[in-house]
A and B are shown apart, each in its own frame.
Chain A
Amino acid sequence: MNTADQYLKTIYVVQKQADGPASTGSIADALGVSPASANEMIGKLEERGLAEHEKYKGVRLTDDGIVKARDALQTYCIIERFLANVLAVEEFREEAHELEAVIDDTVAERLDTIIDRQPECPDCFDPETDACACLEVGAVPVEQD
């Protein structure tokens, strides 16, 4: 997944959670980058017709941006599911974030042939747990006694 896709995925999740435009600050926070870097990439997404910036409000994805963002989120879900269910990785969220940049969509599609993903993917992605709500492993955060 390239960097632009990582941004699209993040903006999609943030705007869905906010039920409105995503602020640059929250996008930068979610990606662990500086607001300046986030602004630069958002500008590029705007040039490509994938996002629109509303002054003082934030960023909103265009219809084309939403399509690409959903594809990226689906790739991310495949990586999470593959790590959790095939390789039994406990910290699959952290690892998925680390690996998503190196795993291409075509590779994810091949990995998808051995995992059991739901047809509603990626709508089942739950930003609160940063994981697919249908993913049995760790879908519910472990509570400390």
Chain B
Amino acid sequence: MVEVSVSQRITSDDQLARLLQIGIVLEEVVEARAHHHYESLDAELDEEVETLLADAAEESAEHRARLEGLIEGLGVDSVPFDEIESLVDARYGRTQPDDFDGVLYDQLCNEETAYKFYDDLIEAIAGSDAEFSIDRAELLDTLEAIREEEAEGVSEVTEVMERR
């Protein structure tokens, strides 16, 4: 697609920090939703789905910690997990999937959305000549590693969905 540049570049530490915060919130949403799904599966135990959700929640918590490390380097506060969790709780009833297919589909959306977010973020950083107060190479390495794990997550969920 041909684009005229309006504002596709990241120009400052503040803007970068805000985008990393959004990444943290996305991870928090994924973690909270996976946790809810995991709990809702108690009644009808399905080991494969349960393991998948537990791994997803763990991976999101780890991504969150890595993003927090980056925004700490920019001197900005993170986003408190409890607040996001209570927002997810408040809204959860309206969006809760009611079966395994729904749970897996929701998880697929989570992973795909996160992948898309990191992909766009990496592209925007790469297209920017701004100097950040954290090391650019380290920033990109971290985000690329997280993006790779999201891509793996998409394949894992897809594989389980196709097999069932």
Contacts and interface: CB of A to CB of B under 8 A. Distances in A.
Interface string B24-64: 01100100000000000000000000000000000000000
Contact of B18 (A95, A111, A114): A95
B8 A107 contact: no
Given A31-B6, A98-B15, A86 B112 contact: no
B91 A101 contact: no
A87 B20 CA distance: 12
B74 interface: no
A4 interface: yes
B4 A40 contact: yes
Give the dominant DSSP class at A's interface.
helix
B137 interface: no
Given A102-B120, A114-B29, A86 B87 contact: yes
Interface in A86-108: 86-87, 89, 95, 97-104, 106-107
B3 interface: yes
B13 to A, nearest CB: 13
B143 to A, nearest CB: 13
B120 A2 contact: no
Contacts of A99: 15, 18-19, 22
